A and B are shown apart, each in its own frame.
Chain A
């Protein structure tokens, strides 16, 4: 089981945001608890098979040093804004198969409203801003770079 370091003075924010290996949502959720948090929200963005053509897998390219810093800043900002007890975001690099997690966001707060809102905010900003790109590989042998993020409401 992978260990995710957790440390931040205001809220507990994870330190490593890009992973080249599988993300286990079950392991994360098992670890991710806080005695003052009554609500834990987990979002798992997973690879789906239909994208106009049948998708076999995605391959994520990352400007890693910048992505690490930007995601961390987004988590810290969200933690302050919603008074989170814990916040975590991990995004995959490399090859990710259908039904595997490409990105996971977990938020913990005293009540559910803050955890839901912060989680939505974090994933939207990560998708829009973090320097991460997906290349889609299709069953017909073709591949293409993913379309630009247009996820403001989704």
Chain B
């Protein structure tokens, strides 16, 4: 599946990349994999939400059928 990241996360990883890991079944597991791959972003990843194109995903959401997952740091709009 393709991972898309925003804002300060891009200081630590590409803005989009493929995550090829068949052991990842839900958002919590994905979060842990991302923290292992990008240890400098661990604190920021812990504060992130995850989504599809149109929906925020819960941490126990199964993700095996998703093609795109978006990693959302805390908002700073306005």
Partners in one complex: yes
Interface residues of A (CB under 8 A from B): 45, 60-63, 65-66, 69, 91, 102-103, 123, 126-135, 145-149, 151
A18 to chain B, nearest CB (A): 10
Interface of A is mostly: mixed
B residues less than 8 Å from A65 (CB atoms) = 53-54
A residues less than 8 Å from B75 (CB atoms) = 127-133, 148-149
Within 8 A of A (CB), among B48-71: 49, 51, 53-56, 70
With contacts A65-B53, A66-B53 taken as known, whether A149 is within 8 angstroms of B74 at the C-beta atoms is yes
- Indicate if the CB atoms of B6 and A127 lie closer than 8 Å: no
- Indicate if the CB atoms of A151 and B78 lie closer than 8 Å: yes
Within 8 A of A (CB), among B1-22: 6-8, 11
- Indicate if the CB atoms of A63 and B51 lie closer than 8 Å: yes
B residues less than 8 Å from A135 (CB atoms) = 7
- Indicate if the CB atoms of A133 and B78 lie closer than 8 Å: no
- Indicate if the CB atoms of A69 and B54 lie closer than 8 Å: yes
- Indicate if the CB atoms of A103 and B51 lie closer than 8 Å: no
Q: A66-B70, A128-B75, A130-B77 provided; 4 other pairs, C-beta below 8 A? A: A66-B54, A91-B77, A131-B51, A145-B76
- Indicate if the CB atoms of B76 and A132 lie closer than 8 Å: yes
Residue of B nearest to A60 (CB): B77
With contacts A131-B6, A145-B8 taken as known, whether A63 is within 8 angstroms of B78 at the C-beta atoms is no
Residue of B nearest to A151 (CB): B78
- Indicate if the CB atoms of B78 and A103 lie closer than 8 Å: yes
- Indicate if the CB atoms of B54 and A45 lie closer than 8 Å: no
- Indicate if the CB atoms of B77 and A66 lie closer than 8 Å: no
B72 within 8 A of A: yes
**A150 vs B58: C-alpha distance in the bound complex, in angstroms?**
23
- Indicate if the CB atoms of A149 and B72 lie closer than 8 Å: no
